Structure formats: structure tokens, C-alpha cells
Chain A
Amino acid sequence: MQYEAGNFDVIVIGAGHAGCEAGLAAARLGAKTLMITINLDMVAFMPCNPSVGGPAKGIVVREIDALGGEMGKNIDKTHIQMRMLNTGKGPAVRALRAQADKFSYQHEMKKTIENEPNMTLLQGMVDRLLIEDEAVQGVITMTGAIYRSKTVVITTGTFLRGEIILGELKYSSGPNNQQPSIKLSEHLQELGFDLVRFKTGTPPRVNSHTIDYSKTEIQPGDEIPQAFSYETTKYITDQLPCWLTYTNERTHLLIDENLHRSPMYSGMIKGTGPRYCPSIEDKVVRFNDKPRHQIFLEPEGRNTQEVYVQGLSTSLPEDVQQQIMKTIPGLENVQMMRAGYAIEYDAIVPTQLWPTLETKKIKNLYTAGQINGTSGYEEAAGQGLMAGINAGRKALNREELILSRSDAYIGVLIDDLITKGTNEPYRLLTSRAEYRLLLRHDNADLRLTEIGHEMGLISEERYERFLKKKEQIEAEKLRLKSIILKPTEQVQELIQSMGGSELKDGIRASDLLKRPEMTYGHVETLAPNEISLDTDVKEQVEIQVKYEGYIEKSLQQVDRLKKMENKKIPENIDYNKITGLATEARQKLTQIKPLTLAQASRISGVNPADISILLVYIEQGRVARISNQ
């Protein structure tokens, strides 16, 4: 029996990291939103490592925050440890990483969602979508409830036809033994979506009481309090450490002897796993010259004894997992609480999406997170936010939002997915960003707050604060440019003490700051400012002045990109009517349907000659004419 259960603007299927951001964004920009999840106890669950951030990913969390998302605020409230990574390197690659209290993280996120106006949170399993005229109209749950809506976002993670593999054992399951979503996957296939099978894995969890920490190295958090969110004012100072130990030759020998029982090598696992997240058996096989591998022991929270064994992701049988751990210093007598496992799941081929994350096949239907072939909480959250913004705005008849590769890592992520597709679960890496000097974690607010505000996701109070910060940065840069420091004793002494070469002449304060040994702090003592500036303003001034030349170079590249991005390709263009295009280019262009010439040029198989021809058509307005025919 089916029944009408309610009408909404936006429905979000799933409440993982993508779903939470999608639902919150849609509700916050004023859309009446329904979030449906298979199990309400699984909201914002972390099925794998208990951490948020890190290189590239940490920058995404900052970007989410600048756009009014929740992940940064939530982890700021619930971490057990925070560290700034890559501090010895340049500003472009620094990144925050937090160890999460998994359980608090979930509870805090659930609380936020429950208290959100415009939001309905519901437990249920969606079996089918309501489709009319190739547009989605709502969803139908397994209990027969029909929820109608203007747009739908699917964020099913690894639930779609999920199968857990543990040694010789294989069974139908979502992550952490949750009920999998089978009918929805079949339904998507019926609708004509291309699906792929991906695989990912997780290591065992062990009881902290049974670890001999004296045989491991301590990995404490930073002493300086830090936060992801630009709104966080309260910092957690009571931190828990992680611990480091290593595998050894005995471990490797044991794995080697049991390889025949590994589903990876017996052929039981067919899905493609990520190269950047190999199982321990993979590492031992592929890098057999390495005498040891690092194992990080990470607490899963403050109120649990469960410890995550990072570095030991595996799908070997349970008994082998236990034996492996006994070879590792500190884990000799460890009690395994949960075994590691691999999980296979369905994802849709992401080239079937527009840059807004709407599907090309079904109008008003959006997808985000692992269903789009990515891996990682941050990648999921970033997409969820964008899908939520766009689904919400579309439902409210507003223009959708697309971030460029030069705006944000989120832009890089989505463009990579929808333009190039992916053969393995996609993870963001700093090397994927062409303009990473511009996409820093420290300037995420400068890059994106304006957009977040325009979307209605940034409060007026915060926006005012942002404008003031921006103004102060510009004023201070100008001030340093206008001050000439004479080679006085004080100046020379300071320069000498830092190991720099003495001044022969007067120098602009900004030019002195450009010297590698000089910091803003030094220059400030020589050219004090009457107004006291915040640390983050000072940091911006220092970075922007110090790396001006390199930033300028990157900006020139962005200029070239922007010119190409401004050349729009109409959606309904018929590439078969354009003479001169190579056959492969014609096929790829028809499949990907790029929105701009810039996007077209990134498609593999489309060469510069094809781009020239497209350009000719666009410039002459002929594309429009072909499209109208």
C-alpha cells in the first residue's frame, strides 16, 4: 500500500557527510527539506578513520566553512586532537587535521540537524524515485510512503548494493553491518544510469586497555589552539595523543603465507580499490623491499576504549588479522574488538553529471559523495554542500552555483569527476590543483565568504567581520609599501640577527618582508602599526607580500583559464553538425556536454584543433544557430 506522506522542496537521501551538508545547506537557504536515512543512529557516522582534514582535505573543510557548511564547526566542537600539518613547508600546502571523537561528532551533527528550521529528519529506506517527463518528482520508501519534492539529492555512500568481504566470508551489507540499499541501485540502473563497482576497506579496531603503549611512540596534538571554522571561538585544550608503531619482517612473512586466503588475491573482490589507500596485504606485495610500515593507533573517542589501527586496512580472514597484530610491538596481547573488512558498492559514473551535480539524464536529481566515485568524508561533504545549495536554489527558482578550479579545491574535485571521470575511488590530492598557491587553507574565507553570503548561508554579523578583515589586510599591505626603512642601527641589528645581509640603502617595509629570513613580526617591530591587528590578518599580509611574485604568476594562469571559461557552450549543441571535429572528440563532447570551452579542453581525446574549431563556431554565433535548428 502506498500513501502520500508529504510535500517538500528538497529531499536528501542519506545522512552521511554528504547528506548532512546537502540537507543543512538546502534548509538554510530557505527550502523545506526532508532528510531520509536508513538508520537515524548513523547520522554523520565515520565508518573508517576517526579524523577530519589533512592535506587538501583540510582545505576543503575550510572551504565548506567559508560557504556556510557545517563540517568545520562540528569537528571544532568534537575533536580530541588537532594538528597543523606541513608547517615546515610553504603556506600553500599547510593543512589542519583533527582526530575526531566519532560518537560526539555524530551526536553534535544530529543535534544541529534536528534543531534546524525547515528541516525534517526521518528514518526510512528509499526504494524508488518518482519520475515524470525525465524529471524527478519525489521518492517512495520501502513502507510505501510517497514524499513529493521539487528536487532530490542522493547521498548513499557505500550503501548501494554494499557487500562486506572479510576473508572467505562475503555478505550483503552496508558499512558497519548496516542494512544495504539494494532496490535503489537496481532502480538507478533501470533509469539508464551507468554504474561502476568500487571497493574500499577499513582496518581492525582494538581495545585500548590491551595495548602496551610503552613500546610505541607518542604523537601529541599541537599546543596552540586551532580551529577549522572562522566562527569558532571556543577551543578544546584537553587533547588525547595518538601512538605510532611499526610492522616488521615477521608481519610481512605472515601476510605472505596467508595471501591465498586474501579475497583480494583469490579473485573474490572485483571492485576497484583506491591506490592511495592500499590494504596491508597490498603494501607488502607491491613494496616488498620495505622492511617496515607505519601503524598509527588512533583513539575513536573520549568515552570508548576502541582504537583505530591506521595502516592495517585489510580484508584478510579474522584469525589472520589477529595473528598479524601479535607481531606488532605494543599489540602483542591486543584484543581485537572489530575486524577490518573490505566493502564493495555501486557508484554512478560521474561524467553523467552536470557541474552543478545534477544528473544529465533525470532533471532535478542530484548526487553527491561516494555515489559519485569519491572517497573521504571531506570530499563527500564538499559535494554534499554544493548539491544541497544547487538542489535548494533550483527548487526556489534561483540560479545554480558552479565553483571554478581556480576558486576552490571543491571546484577541482567536481570538475575532475564530471569531466574526466574516475577509475578508482577519487581522493583529493594537492597535486590535482593547478593553482594551489591560490587555494590555500588560510585564505579560504577570502576566496569564498562572498559567495557563501550571496547564497544566504553566511550571517550578516560574520560577513561584516569578513569585510573588516579584508579591509585591514589591504590597508596594512599598503602601509608596508609606503614605509621606507632607513639603514639605522636597530634595522641593521635585526637583519643581522636573522642572518640576512645588511641594508645599503633605505628599503620599503614590504620589500624587507619579502626576504626569506624576515617575518611579519620582524617588520612590525621596525614599522609598528597604531592599530592592533588580528593574527590572521598579519598572517595574510605576510603570505601575500612574501609570495607576491609567485601569486602573480598563478593569477596570470588563472586569467587565461577565465578567458576560456567565459566562452560558454550551449547545452543543446549538436556536435554532429559541426564539420571538422575529429570523431573521438565528437563522441566525447556529446557524452560529457561541457558547459565552457575551458571544460571542453580538459576532456581527454579532445585536442587543440577541435577546440579551435569550437571556438570559431562560438565566436561567430553559429553554435546558437545550429542549436536552434
Chain B
Amino acid sequence: MEFDTIVAISTPMGEGAIAIVRLSGDEAIPIADSIFKSIGAKRLTDVPSHTIHYGHLVDPANGQAVEEVMVSLMKGPKTFTKEDVVEINCHGGIVSVNRVLQLVLKNGARLAEPGEFTKRAFLNGRIDLSQAEAVMDLIRAKTDRAMNVALGQMEGRLSKLIRKLRQEILETLAHVEVNIDYPEYDDVEEMTHHMLLEKASLVRSELKKLLQTSEQGKILREGLSTVIVGRPNVGKSSLLNSLVHENKAIVTDIPGTTRDVIEEYVNVRGVPLRLLDTAGIRETEDIVERIGVEKSRQVLKEADLILLVLNYADSLTVEDENIFKAVSGLDVIVIVNKTDLPGKIDSDRVRELAKGHKIVTTSLLDDKGVDELEEAISSLFFEGSLESGDMTYVSNSRHIALLHQALQLMEDAIQGVEMGTPIDIVQIDLTRTWELLGEIIGESIHESLIDQLFSQFCLGK
């Protein structure tokens, strides 16, 4: 049987120590190999079947490590689907699992339809005939449910945006088509490379924006991305621990011990927070630590909420002031910690720097002020001063995968235009983009292009 390679998260969504992302198909092993990096630089394409391998998943696009994983490799036909199967064991938790899934999708696999692994097992003769009806019921039921979800989204903002984008593309397509099919009609302006470039760039930037919202807009599913910042040793890790009620980050008195970004997913009075603890945000000569610092800066930019921690027992430093500068324009709660110690901080200056942001005083060591902080977070969220309302934004992995494909096609189209490729050839990419966007909202009927053609232009003999 010849099938493309599919991928899905095979463990239930939610908190767990580990989760499994499973691939099946001819390309399963090459795809896994393209994003897998082991210490000994071994290639998954070379290892024997039914073996397990430790390493990291690395995004080939930027060389960044995404996850620490164990990869099980099973070559067909002795697998569940009788095809080549790869199972990636990664850390549990919605965020890391999704990142692994996205990475695999970006590198060539297609998101499995509901029940598709089972279907393949069946089609490849792994499951016997008596199970056929059950499988089909499964396909039916799950697809219907998926369709209901899709219908729900029809009313949403996403589908409105996609529709608008598709209409833009459609008008351009109709314009190009009319130039082709009615070359002598002079009342239709000839589409130029310049016009096409303008349209394609517009579509590309809209797609990029949508994909960005796919990062931000996952709030309710993935949590409000929250970053804790502050000089070394002001109590950032203690704050994280207080919120998590667990001991995951290393807490010491030595500056710079929390080197990397650590994530936790917590529920604060109904507000889902994705907590990111960062290394100190100061300049440092220590190479190892600098990796952490740079990462922190990047993380800051993408955060929905900043928890800025100051040391009550120390005077404000240039570093503190710099941190305030770095977070200006973002949603910030200022936490003045270590009130159990004698105060040295200039409270007036703190208020001045906070510019109206909520200030909470805590003594995390004594568990004091944590309630007040949680209250501040939840009121910030529910009173709506945070930009978190767009839950209809792109959050579905299938949609994200389609948008990524569409974006790639637009990049191809723009490259084509820049190279002077004839418009009717570049248009192939544009048409495919239009179809992919149609798949998101469940519309891909070709006839609408022809309808557009005849309503937009006056043609005929």
C-alpha cells in the first residue's frame, strides 16, 4: 500500500510525565531522522528496527533544540499499521507535546485524520474483517464530530479572516484567468508582476499574522504565557515554586543558577498560566549563562504577562531600571519580594517606574503576599486588560499545518515573481494557497472561481 506519512499525539491531552507523538508511513523514519540529533550523531535511518534512541529534537530551520526525547523506531510490517512507525517519547504537558507535533508537521508529515491509524492498520490487513464495521463507525462518528467543531468555527473570527483572504486571492485569480481566457478584451487590465507581487506580499503578511496569533491565541488551550523576570537572586525561582507548589526549578542563593528557561503550566484561580522562569537578565561574560540571557530576552517579547521581581532588601540598580525599560509596553505585575528582610528599596522610584502597573509586596520565603499576587493575576485577566480574548484564533494543529503550507507556497510565489516567472505559472501556487485556505473552513469548490470570473468581468461575444 502506498500512503503518505501521518502523525498524531497518541497519548491523552493533559498533564502526564511523558507523552507520545506517533508517525506512520513510508517517510516516518526519514522525517524523524531529519529532526533528531543524538550525542553520537547516529542516524535513525541506519539503526536496526525495534530499537529505542535517546537524543534531542532540533528544528532544522534554525538549529534550535526543541525537546529532549526517546525515539522508538519500528519498521514495517511488524508494526501496528504494518507501515514504518516512529514513536517520539517526550515530556508530558500540552506545550512540549504540541511543539513536537508542530515540528514533525513542518517537516513533512500530515496530521492524521481521526481514526486514521486504525484505518491504516485495517487497510493494510493488520486488523481482521470482523472489526471493519467498528472502524467505519469510528471514522464516521469522529469525522462528524470534527465537522461539528468545524461548523462551530465557521461563525468565528478565524473563518471571517480566512474568507476575506480567500476573496482577495480569488479576485486576483479571476483577474489572471480572465487575461488568459479573454486575451483580447481590453477593458480588463493586464495583471502585472508588480500587481501580483503586491497581492502575494499582502497574503503572505496576513498568513504570517495569522500564524502569529496561532502562537498567542492558544491561551485557553495552552495558557497565558507568563515570564518571570528580575535580577539574579531576587526570588524568581521561589516565585515560580510558590505558584506551582512544587519544587522543579533549582533555588539557591548563588546568582545565575537558574540558567535555562523552565516552563510550568499552572491554574491560577481559573487563569491558565504557562510560567517561564528565566535566567537573570543582566549582561554577563559567562558564555553558558549568556545563552540563557538571550533566550530570556526573546521570551520576553513573546510573553502575554510579565512578573517583574525586585529585591526589597536591596536598593534599585541600573539592571532593575533596564529591566523596566525592556518590559515597557507589556502587561506587567511588579513584585517587591523579601519583605521579611530590612527594606532598602526606594518605593517612590518603584512606583514611578511601574507607571501604573499593579505592585504586589511579598515574602515568598514566608509564603506571604502570594494570595494577593494570584488575585492581581486573575483580575488582570478577567477584567480584560490583557489581550487574551481571541480564542477563535488559530489553535487547531491541522489549521496551523495548512497555514504553514500556504505560507510556504506564498514564499514560492513571491520568489517566482521576483525571478520573472510567467504570471500564469506563479498562479499555480496562488491557486493552491486558495485551496488550502478553503480546507481550513471546509470550502474548496472549484466552481466558485468561475463564478467570480463572470461576476467580476464583462466577457463574451
Interface residues of A (CB under 8 A from B): 48-49, 55-56, 85-86, 89-93, 203, 274-278, 282-283, 286-287, 290, 292-294, 296, 310-311, 313, 420, 429-432, 434, 436-437, 516-517, 547, 550, 553-554, 563, 579-580, 604, 607-609, 612-613, 615-616, 619-620, 622
Tell me the bound Cα distance from A608 to B142 in angstroms.
12
Contacting B458 at CB < 8 Å: which of A56, A293, A313, A607? A293
Inter-chain contacts of B460 with A (CB < 8 A):
274-278, 282-283, 311, 313
Interface residues of B (CB under 8 A from A): 1-2, 113, 119, 122-123, 129, 132-133, 135-137, 139-140, 143-144, 173, 177, 179-187, 419-425, 428, 445-447, 449-450, 453-454, 458-461
With A277-B461, A429-B450 as contacts: A616 and B425 at CB distance below 8 Å: no
Tell me the bound Cα distance from A12 to B439 in angstroms.
45
Residue in B1, B173, B422, B454 whose Cβ sees the most chain A Cβ within 10 Å = B422
Inter-chain contacts of B183 with A (CB < 8 A):
55, 85-86
Q: How far is the CB of B128 from chain A (nearest CB, A)?
A: 10
Q: Is the CB of B428 within 8 A of A431?
A: no
Q: Is the CB of A613 within 8 A of B421?
A: no
Q: Is the CB of A619 within 8 A of B123?
A: yes
Q: How far is the CB of A371 from chain B (nearest CB, A)?
A: 22
Tell me the bound Cα distance from A277 to B136 in angstroms.
47
Contacting B459 at CB < 8 Å: which of A90, A276, A516, A607? A276
Q: How far is the CB of A329 from chain B (nearest CB, A)?
A: 15
Q: Is the CB of B2 within 8 A of A609?
A: no
Q: Is the CB of A294 within 8 A of B428?
A: no
Q: Is the CB of A550 within 8 A of B123?
A: no
Inter-chain contacts of A286 with B (CB < 8 A):
458
Contacting A430 at CB < 8 Å: which of B113, B119, B180, B425? B180
Contacting B461 at CB < 8 Å: which of A55, A203, A608? A203
Q: Is the CB of B132 within 8 A of A620?
A: yes
Inter-chain contacts of B180 with A (CB < 8 A):
55, 86, 89, 93, 430-431
With A86-B183, A276-B454 as contacts: A547 and B425 at CB distance below 8 Å: yes
Q: Is the CB of A290 within 8 A of B187?
A: yes
Q: Is the CB of B450 within 8 A of A579?
A: no
Inter-chain contacts of A90 with B (CB < 8 A):
421-425
Contacting A89 at CB < 8 Å: which of B129, B179, B187? B179
Given known contacts A55-B183, A313-B460, what 8 new A-B pairs fall within 8 Å (CB)?
A: A86-B424, A278-B460, A290-B187, A294-B186, A430-B424, A437-B425, A553-B428, A554-B428
Q: Is the CB of A431 within 8 A of B423?
A: no
Inter-chain contacts of B140 with A (CB < 8 A):
580, 609, 613
Q: Is the CB of B143 within 8 A of A608?
A: yes
Inter-chain contacts of B122 with A (CB < 8 A):
616, 620
Inter-chain contacts of B450 with A (CB < 8 A):
429, 431-432
Inter-chain contacts of A56 with B (CB < 8 A):
181
17 contacts across the A-B interface (CB closer than 8 A): A86-B180, A89-B422, A89-B423, A93-B424, A278-B459, A286-B458, A429-B181, A516-B421, A550-B428, A553-B428, A579-B133, A580-B133, A612-B139, A615-B123, A619-B1, A620-B122, A620-B123
Inter-chain contacts of A274 with B (CB < 8 A):
460
Inter-chain contacts of A517 with B (CB < 8 A):
420
Q: Is the CB of B425 within 8 A of A550?
A: yes
Inter-chain contacts of A420 with B (CB < 8 A):
447
Residue in B420, B446, B453, B460 whose Cβ sees the most chain A Cβ within 10 Å = B460
With A86-B183, A554-B428, A616-B119 as contacts: A429 and B136 at CB distance below 8 Å: no
Tell me the bound Cα distance from A208 to B122 in angstroms.
73
Q: How far is the CB of A321 from chain B (nearest CB, A)?
A: 15
Q: Is the CB of B454 within 8 A of A313?
A: no
Inter-chain contacts of A282 with B (CB < 8 A):
460
Tell me the bound Cα distance from A438 to B180 in angstroms.
16
Tell me the bound Cα distance from A294 to B188 in angstroms.
11
Q: Is the CB of B449 within 8 A of A431?
A: yes
Tell me the bound Cα distance from A48 to B460 in angstroms.
13
9 closest cross-chain pairs (CB), A and B: A90-B422, A516-B420, A609-B143, A287-B458, A275-B454, A580-B136, A277-B460, A90-B425, A431-B177
Tell me the bound Cα distance from A85 to B445 in angstroms.
29
Q: Which residue of B lies closest to A201 (CB)?
A: B461
Tell me the bound Cα distance from A613 to B140 in angstroms.
8
Q: Is the CB of A49 within 8 A of B139?
A: no
Residue in A283, A290, A431 whose Cβ sees the most chain B Cβ within 10 Å = A431
Q: Is the CB of B419 within 8 A of A516?
A: yes
Q: Is the CB of B139 within 8 A of A283?
A: no
Q: Which residue of A lies closest to B416 (CB)?
A: A550
Q: Is the CB of A431 within 8 A of B135?
A: no
With A90-B422, A580-B136 as contacts: A609 and B144 at CB distance below 8 Å: yes
Tell me the bound Cα distance from A26 to B419 in angstroms.
48
Inter-chain contacts of A437 with B (CB < 8 A):
425, 428
Contacting B187 at CB < 8 Å: which of A91, A294, A612? A294
Q: How far is the CB of A603 from chain B (nearest CB, A)?
A: 12
Q: Which residue of A lies closest to B1 (CB)?
A: A619
Q: Is the CB of B425 within 8 A of A431?
A: no
Q: How far is the CB of A290 from chain B (nearest CB, A)?
A: 6
Q: Is the CB of B458 within 8 A of A616?
A: no
Q: Is the CB of A604 within 8 A of B187?
A: no
Residue in A93, A296, A607 whose Cβ sees the most chain B Cβ within 10 Å = A93
Residue in B420, B459, B461 whose Cβ sees the most chain A Cβ within 10 Å = B461
Q: How far is the CB of B455 from chain A (nearest CB, A)?
A: 8
Q: Is the CB of A563 within 8 A of B2?
A: yes
With A429-B177, A432-B450, A613-B136 as contacts: A294 and B425 at CB distance below 8 Å: no
Tell me the bound Cα distance from A35 to B184 in angstroms.
37
Q: Is the CB of B139 within 8 A of A580?
A: yes
Tell me the bound Cα distance from A310 to B425 in angstroms.
30
Q: Is the CB of A294 within 8 A of B185?
A: yes
Tell me the bound Cα distance from A431 to B172 in angstroms.
13
Tell me the bound Cα distance from A411 to B96 in angstroms.
48
Q: How far is the CB of A608 from chain B (nearest CB, A)?
A: 7
Tell me the bound Cα distance from A92 to B176 in angstroms.
13
Q: How far is the CB of A310 from chain B (nearest CB, A)?
A: 5
Tell me the bound Cα distance from A615 to B458 in angstroms.
43
Q: How far is the CB of A55 from chain B (nearest CB, A)?
A: 5
Tell me the bound Cα distance from A48 to B449 in angstroms.
27
Q: How far is the CB of B229 from chain A (nearest CB, A)?
A: 47
Tell me the bound Cα distance from A404 to B323 in angstroms.
65
Q: Is the CB of B458 within 8 A of A283?
A: yes
Inter-chain contacts of A92 with B (CB < 8 A):
424-425
Tell me the bound Cα distance from A438 to B80 in angstroms.
39
Q: Which residue of A lies closest to B418 (CB)?
A: A516
Inter-chain contacts of A49 with B (CB < 8 A):
461
Q: Which residue of A lies closest to B3 (CB)?
A: A563
Tell me the bound Cα distance from A616 to B182 in angstroms.
44
Tell me the bound Cα distance from A517 to B419 in angstroms.
9
Inter-chain contacts of B123 with A (CB < 8 A):
615-616, 619-620
Inter-chain contacts of B423 with A (CB < 8 A):
89-90
Q: Is the CB of B143 within 8 A of A431?
A: no
Q: How far is the CB of B180 from chain A (nearest CB, A)?
A: 5
Tell me the bound Cα distance from A310 to B2 in angstroms.
52
Tell me the bound Cα distance from A290 to B1 in angstroms.
57
Q: How far is the CB of A217 from chain B (nearest CB, A)?
A: 10
Tell me the bound Cα distance from A619 to B186 in angstroms.
53
Q: Which residue of B lies closest to A550 (CB)?
A: B425
Q: Which residue of A lies closest to B185 (CB)?
A: A294
Inter-chain contacts of B143 with A (CB < 8 A):
607-609, 612
Tell me the bound Cα distance from A185 to B119 in angstroms.
49
Q: Which residue of B lies closest to A554 (CB)?
A: B428
Contacting B184 at CB < 8 Å: which of A294, A432, A608, A616? A294
Contacting A604 at CB < 8 Å: which of B2, B129, B144, B445? B445
Q: How far is the CB of A386 from chain B (nearest CB, A)?
A: 22
Residue in B177, B181, B449, B450 whose Cβ sees the most chain A Cβ within 10 Å = B181
Tell me the bound Cα distance from A553 to B432 in angstroms.
11
With A85-B183, A283-B460, A294-B187 as contacts: A613 and B139 at CB distance below 8 Å: yes
Tell me the bound Cα distance from A595 to B338 in angstroms.
77
Inter-chain contacts of A310 with B (CB < 8 A):
461
